A and B are shown apart, each in its own frame.
Chain A
Amino acid sequence: MKLGLNPQQVLSEALGPSGAMRVTVGIDLGSTTTKSILLDPGGEIVGRGITNSRSNYAVAAAVARQEALTAVRFSMLGRVLDAAGADAVALQQPLSEAFRLQLYLGELDALRDEIAGLLLKPGFAANRAVLAPAADEVLRRMRLSAPALFGPGADRKSDFFRDIAGQAFVKEAEDLASGGQVPFERLVGLYDRAILDVETRIETRDFAELLGIAARQLLPAGPSADWLAAVVAAVGRAPIEEVAFVGTGYGRQTLPFPKETVRSEILCHGRGAHRVFSGTRTVLDIGGQDTKAIQVDSSGVVTSFQMNDRCAAGCGRYLGYIADELNLGLHELGPLALQAKKQTRVNSTCTVFAGAELRERLALGQRREDILAGLHRAIMLRAMSILARSGGIADQFTFTGGVCNNPMAVKVLRELVAQTYGDHITVNTHSSSIYMGALGAAMYALDDHREGRGGILPTFAVAQAA
Chain B
Amino acid sequence: MSTGHMMADAPSKDAAAPVKDHSQVRQKEMIADHFDKLARAKEDGRKVVYTFVPGNLTELILSLDLLPVLPEINALQSGMRKKSAGYIAEAEKSGHSEDVCTYVKCDIGMMKSGNIGPTGQKLPEPDLLLLSYTGCFTFLKWFELLREEYHCPVVMLHVPYQPDGVITAAMRTYIVDQLEREVIPALEKLAGKTLDRNELSRRLALSAQAEDDLVAVWESAKHSPSPIDGYFGGVYYIGPIFSAFRGSEGAVDYYRELRQECEARVALNLGPMTPDGQLDDQKYRLVVEGPPNWTSFNDFWHMFSKEKAVVVASTYTRVGGLYDSGPDGKGFRHDPARPLETLADYCLGCYTNLGLPSRIDLLERYVRDYKADGFLINSVKSCNSFSAGQLLILREVERRTGVPGGFIESDLVDPRYFGKANIENRVQSFLQMLQARRGRVLQADVRGSQPSAAL
A contact set with B: CB distance below 8 Å = 43-46, 48, 250, 253, 263-267, 271, 274-279, 290, 299-310, 389, 391, 428, 430, 432, 435, 439, 443, 446-447, 450
Contact = CB atoms under 8 A, between A and B. Distances in A.
Contact of A446 (B424, B429, B443): B443
Given A253-B421, A309-B422, A389-B391, A299 B455 contact: no
A309 B442 contact: no
Contacts of A44: 454
A16 B254 CA distance: 70
Contact of A443 (B426, B437, B443, B454): B443
A239 B332 CA distance: 70
Contact of A277 (B398, B428, B449): B449
B446 interface: yes
Interface of B: 391, 395, 398, 404-405, 407, 409, 417-419, 421-422, 424-426, 428-429, 432-433, 436-437, 442-449, 451-452, 454-455
Given A300-B442, A304-B404, A310 B422 contact: yes
Contacts of A300: 442, 445
Contacts of B407: 306, 389
Nearest to B445: A275
A432 B433 contact: no
Given A310-B419, A310-B422, A276 B432 contact: no
A242 to B, nearest CB: 19
Nearest to B417: A310
Contacts of B448: 278
A447 B442 contact: yes
B451 A277 contact: yes
A428 B442 CA distance: 23
Nearest to B425: A264
Given A267-B432, A267-B436, 7 more contacts: A44-B454, A45-B454, A264-B433, A266-B432, A276-B451, A278-B445, A310-B409
Contact of A435 (B395, B404, B455): B455
A157 to B, nearest CB: 22
A340 B445 CA distance: 41
A302 B436 contact: yes
B404 A275 contact: no
A230 B185 CA distance: 102
B299 to A, nearest CB: 13
Contacts of B395: 391
A439 B445 CA distance: 12
A264 B417 CA distance: 22
Contact of B452 (A46, A275, A290, A450): A275
Contact of B446 (A48, A278, A308, A443): A278
26 contacts: A45-B452, A45-B455, A48-B455, A250-B421, A264-B432, A266-B429, A267-B432, A271-B445, A277-B449, A278-B445, A279-B449, A299-B442, A299-B444, A299-B445, A301-B437, A302-B429, A302-B436, A303-B404, A304-B404, A306-B407, A307-B426, A310-B409, A389-B407, A391-B395, A435-B455, A443-B445
Contacts of B418: 310
A435 B398 CA distance: 31
- Top 6 nearest A-B pairs (CB, nearest first) are A310-B419, A264-B429, A266-B429, A45-B454, A309-B409, A302-B433
B155 to A, nearest CB: 39
A354 B19 CA distance: 53
Contacts of A271: 445
A309 B411 CA distance: 12
Given A274-B445, A391-B395, A303 B437 contact: yes
Contacts of B446: 278
A271 B444 CA distance: 11
A324 B409 CA distance: 31
A279 B445 CA distance: 11
Given A303-B404, A307-B426, A310-B419, A276 B409 contact: no
A277 B455 CA distance: 11
Contacts of A450: 443
A302 B445 CA distance: 14
B422 A278 contact: no
Contacts of B391: 389
Contact of A290 (B417, B422, B436, B451): B422
A126 to B, nearest CB: 44
A304 B398 contact: yes
A269 to B, nearest CB: 10
Nearest to B405: A304
Given A264-B428, A307-B422, A310-B422, A276 B405 contact: no
A43 B436 contact: no
A276 B418 CA distance: 35
A443 B444 CA distance: 11
A301 B421 CA distance: 23
A45 B453 CA distance: 9
Contacts of B443: 43, 443, 446-447, 450
Contacts of B426: 307
Contacts of A253: 421, 424
A27 B443 CA distance: 20
A274 B433 CA distance: 15
Contacts of B429: 264-267, 302, 305
Contacts of A267: 429, 432-433, 436
A280 to B, nearest CB: 10
Contact of A276 (B424, B433, B455): B455
